[in-house]
Chains A and B, each alone.
Chain A
Amino acid sequence: GAGVSQSPRYKVAKRGQDVALRCDPISGHVSLFWYQQALGQGPEFLTYFQNEAQLDKSGLPSDRFFAERPEGSVSTLKIQRTQQEDSAVYLCASSVGSGSHNGYTFGSGTRLTVV
């Protein structure tokens, strides 16, 4: 597609509920990134895929967070047993190459509110 698409745009979850957030990157983009952005803060890195391989998951805050990109295109970020501190905007970005020298294209994000 023309841009990075994320769904849903908004998600309200009850504490303890599992959620799944979807990212459709630009077709053919090798790299895919997930970021978490708390209110009033800059994006914080969560995880990075190069094609289907998850090369860096150092930013995932706990083992409740899991990401996958099984066919090297669409990616899903799953959060199990959501907590209030998980409330944030989750941003997905893709890049044509393996580095950042072409910049990232971001989606509009999913705003997760845990109540």
Chain B
Amino acid sequence: SQQGEEDPQALSIQEGENATMNCSYKTSINNLQWYRQNSGRGLVHLILIRSNEREKHSGRLRVTLDTSKKSSSLLITASRAADTASYFCATDDMEYGNKLVFGAGTILRVKS
């Protein structure tokens, strides 16, 4: 069973706009990670945020983590057509040990 839930399930925006995706999870975590998956490909690691961090940046990506609400958000600024993909959050939580538990993902479409 999946730990996280992303919303929205699907998001369609114009190139240049910002995209925000949210993730909720259920248990205590060590860290939370975001991955991107292009159609028919494997997942690519984007960014990791530890449970004692509240915000992290990497290029056009900004991730926030609120452990009291068990939620995270991924913001992609100035989106590009190449950002079109599915985005998944994953938690490495204390209950499940070493493995990552993934959510169902958000499908992002950036129109040019």
Q: Name A's B-contacting residues (CB within 8 A).
A: 4, 31, 33, 35, 40-45, 48, 50, 55-56, 59, 91, 93, 98-101, 103-109, 111
20 A-B pairs with C-beta separation under 8 A: A31-B98, A33-B99, A42-B88, A42-B104, A42-B105, A43-B102, A50-B98, A56-B98, A91-B42, A91-B43, A98-B98, A99-B98, A100-B33, A101-B92, A103-B45, A103-B48, A105-B45, A106-B43, A109-B42, A111-B40
Extra pairs beyond A45-B100, A93-B42, A100-B30 (14, CB < 8 Å): A43-B43, A43-B102, A44-B102, A48-B98, A48-B99, A56-B97, A99-B92, A100-B33, A100-B98, A103-B45, A103-B48, A106-B43, A108-B40, A109-B42
Contact with A along B96-110 (1 / 0, CB 8 A): 111111111100000
- Chain A residue with the shortest CB-CB distance to B102: A42
On chain A, the residues within 8 Å of B96 by CB distance are: 45
Q: Name B's A-contacting residues (CB within 8 A).
A: 2, 4, 30-31, 33, 35, 40-45, 48, 50, 88, 92, 96-105
Q: What distance in Å separates the Cβ of B85 from its nearest Cβ neighbour in chain A?
A: 13
Contact, CB under 8 Å: A41 / B42: no
A41 to B50, CA, bound (A): 25
Contact, CB under 8 Å: A42 / B103: yes
On chain B, the residues within 8 Å of A103 by CB distance are: 33, 45, 48
A48 to B44, CA, bound (A): 19
- Chain B residue with the shortest CB-CB distance to A107: B42
On chain A, the residues within 8 Å of B43 by CB distance are: 43, 91, 93, 104, 106
A113 to B62, CA, bound (A): 37
A99 to B51, CA, bound (A): 14
